Structure 1
Amino acid sequence: MTTSSADVATTHAARDWAGTVGNFLVRHIMIVVMVAIIAFFAYRSARFATPDNLMTILVAAAPFALIALGQTLVILTGGIDLSVGSVIAASAMAAAWSAKNMGDNPLYPLGAAVLAGLVAGAINGLVVSRLNVPPFIATLGMLTLASGVAYVIGNGAPINGLPSSYGVFANTSVGGITIPVLLMIVAILAFAFIMRRTAYGLRVYALGGNRLAAEIAGVRSKGILFSVYVISGLLAGLSGLMLSSRVITGAPNLGQGYELDAIAAVVIGGASLMGGRGTVWGTAIGLLLIQTINNGLDLLLVPAYWQNVIKGVIIVAAVAVDVWAAKRRK
């Protein structure tokens, strides 16, 4: 029995097509995982795949997006910032205090939150870059310090009775989209451009890939290290303002545990904790994956204690799949 040249060509074409599809799926494995999770929740809950619920996911994701972007820069240098959750709390309390005691002007809480975040980030940056303290230890100390400051500002209690203007930061919509969601979109686009199209972004990658080689090439490693922690602190400050503005109150325990979800989003997005590998778009996908899981489990009325178990398993599985895909790509 002979095989015609047409049959051979068809077989080769089918194999090439299958190989192309397979390579695409491997390269974009986290998008595939994301689509699968969305399909599952959409099948189980009629409320999930609705415009209103999509906006709910985006609103919940916005504060996390800011700290995840800052965490991305820090992790790209081979560091880690454990303090962002406590910096959120301290910034929120500083903003709430200024709104209550300095007059009904939205610029006061905005300035207070930004200043608190910048100070915390600058201290982290100085300790890491100038004193050569390991980032884990330096930011762990700031975690405790900022948490204490948050309670000191409110004398151990939340700050209530804030003016209605305080809610403008989180509850104002432009074209049907709230300010936090707009800020998240702008921040993701801006940082994606900065990290891929500017000299600063290339230096961050170079520093995380090989610090000695980067310094030999002329990269000012101390300045870059200082800057990424300052940026992380600044974004945590804005996140604290958005979270407290949403409920128009200052809570000293706000942001507790947020640093873990931020780190998880960065790692799920394909970043290496050793530095030098990761993207802003990967972080955005990891962030939306976590928020989608949170939202879907809520809609399915899964008890909170089981949600943590399920989310932990899914996160570990997603990272394992990404590692497998990375090996296949190589």
Structure 2
Amino acid sequence: MSSESVNKKKKKGFGEFWDRYSTISILIIMTLVFGIMRFSSFFTGSNMLKILEQSSITILLGLGEFFAILLGGIDLSVSSIMALSGAVCAKLMSDFGMHPLAAIIIGIVVLGVFVGLVNGLLVTTTGLPPFIITLGTQAILRSIVYIITSARAVSNLPITFSRTVGGSVGFISAPVLIALITAIVLTYFTKKTQCGRNLYAIGGNPQAAWYAGITVSKHTVIAFIISGLCASMAGMVNIARLAAAEPNAGTGYETFAIEAVIIGGASFFGGVGKIPKVVIGGLIIGVINNGLNMCGVSSYYQQLAMGCLLIIAVTLDRFFGASRKN
């Protein structure tokens, strides 16, 4: 056997390993590293629950971001959708005395779905890259947040809202439960529905999907609606945990969402990825943030760690992820 054949076999073997076990391997390694560094405080039940709760927002944002990336695109507006839906919901409850359920419906169904619909329609009708469209809507939505809140935090939220959305159900916190249920529903959607399978087909080869009779524009809009819906759910969880809506809420979280998806095994080239791995990717982000905080590492270095991890994940996907499409 030639050396070239051996190298190809090794590359394919590592590609298969990377596809199957990369995400869980990274999670185990990160957990062990921080566990060894801060054994007495890291491996405690309360800290594990804290990591899960803190990761819930990243997971929700990542679940929505997954569908944009699945099509070979991106949604940079998820952090601003999160902030806007949270601010509107908080204003409705605090300033207008609206019932929490009605405010949540408006924040999630109306705002999340509407903004996602606008993003999808702009992408399909203009033909511009999703990067450009969502970069613009990100700035527009963040500006709207500052305008409606006068750049001040909105507090005095009903206790029932904070206890229900930000509280606990038994020993599991409500944010974790919300993220878990959302992941289960979206897993079913991607695996068991025709629409979900069509999204994979479009991400793998849009032209072939079009020839197969799949309406690419319609499915693109659906993907961005799901992204907006998940981002607005993250906004509800965020204000419930903080008992206030901060105008700067979620700033930079679009990076966390993208990292959760890519570290979770999805590909920037589209057509590849699984919802459960996105959940693990979100947990990896949570473990890293929690562990670095425990070690007293500055937030600047935390961003450095996240950036390096993202570059490594994308690089490995570029060179070893091709086997997933073969």
Judge same fold: TM > 0.5, yes or no.
Answer: yes
The change in CA–CA distance for 1:71 and 1:79 in structure 2 (over 3 A counts) is same
SS at match of 1:47: helix
Identity %: 34
1:155 lines up with 2:150 in the alignment: yes
The match for 2:111 is: 116
The change in CA–CA distance for 1:22 and 1:307 in structure 2 (over 3 A counts) is closer
CA contact (8 A) 2:15 2:321 kept: no
One-letter amino acid of the structure 1 residue matched with residue 248 of structure 2: N
The equivalences for 1:172-187 within 5 A come to 172-187=167-182
How far apart, CA to CA, are the structure 1 residues paired with 2:199 and 2:15? Answer: 32
The match for 1:11 is: none
Q: How big is the shift at 1:138?
A: 1.0
The equivalences for 1:77-226 within 5 A come to 77-103=71-97, 105-114=99-108, 115-226=110-221
- RMSD value, Cα: 2.2
SS at match of 1:189: helix
The change in CA–CA distance for 1:61 and 1:160 in structure 2 (over 3 A counts) is same
| Counterpart among 273, 278, 281 of residue 278 in structure 1 | 273
5+ residue gaps, structure 2: 1-12
Write out per-residue CA displacement over residues 244-297 of structure 1, whole angstroms, 9 at most, x where no aligned residue: 111111111111111111011111122121211121122122211111111111
1:42 lines up with 2:35 in the alignment: yes
How far apart, CA to CA, are the structure 2 residues paired with 1:322 and 1:127? Answer: 29
SS at match of 2:41: coil
One-letter amino acid of the structure 1 residue matched with residue 62 of structure 2: A
CA contact (8 A) 2:19 2:265 kept: no
5+ residue gaps, structure 1: 1-19
TM-score scaled to structure 1, two decimals?
A: 0.87
How far apart, CA to CA, are the structure 2 residues paired with 1:24 and 1:231? Answer: 30
The equivalences for 1:173-322 within 5 A come to 173-321=168-316
The match for 1:58 is: 52
Q: How big is the shift at 1:318?
A: 4.3
SS at match of 2:42: coil
One-letter amino acid of the structure 2 residue matched with residue 240 of structure 1: G
The equivalences for 1:66-77 within 5 A come to 66-77=60-71
TM-score scaled to structure 2, two decimals?
A: 0.88
CA contact (8 A) 1:195 1:201 kept: yes
The change in CA–CA distance for 1:26 and 1:146 in structure 2 (over 3 A counts) is closer
Write out per-residue CA displacement over residues 128-163 of structure 1, whole angstroms, 9 at most, x where no aligned residue: 123323211111111011101111111232212333
The match for 2:26 is: 33
Q: Which moved more, 1:195-204 or 1:318-327?
A: 318-327
The change in CA–CA distance for 1:94 and 1:223 in structure 2 (over 3 A counts) is same
CA contact (8 A) 1:207 1:221 kept: yes
CA contact (8 A) 2:267 2:317 kept: no
The change in CA–CA distance for 1:231 and 1:44 in structure 2 (over 3 A counts) is same
SS at match of 1:102: coil
Counting matched residue pairs gives 311
CA contact (8 A) 1:268 1:322 kept: no
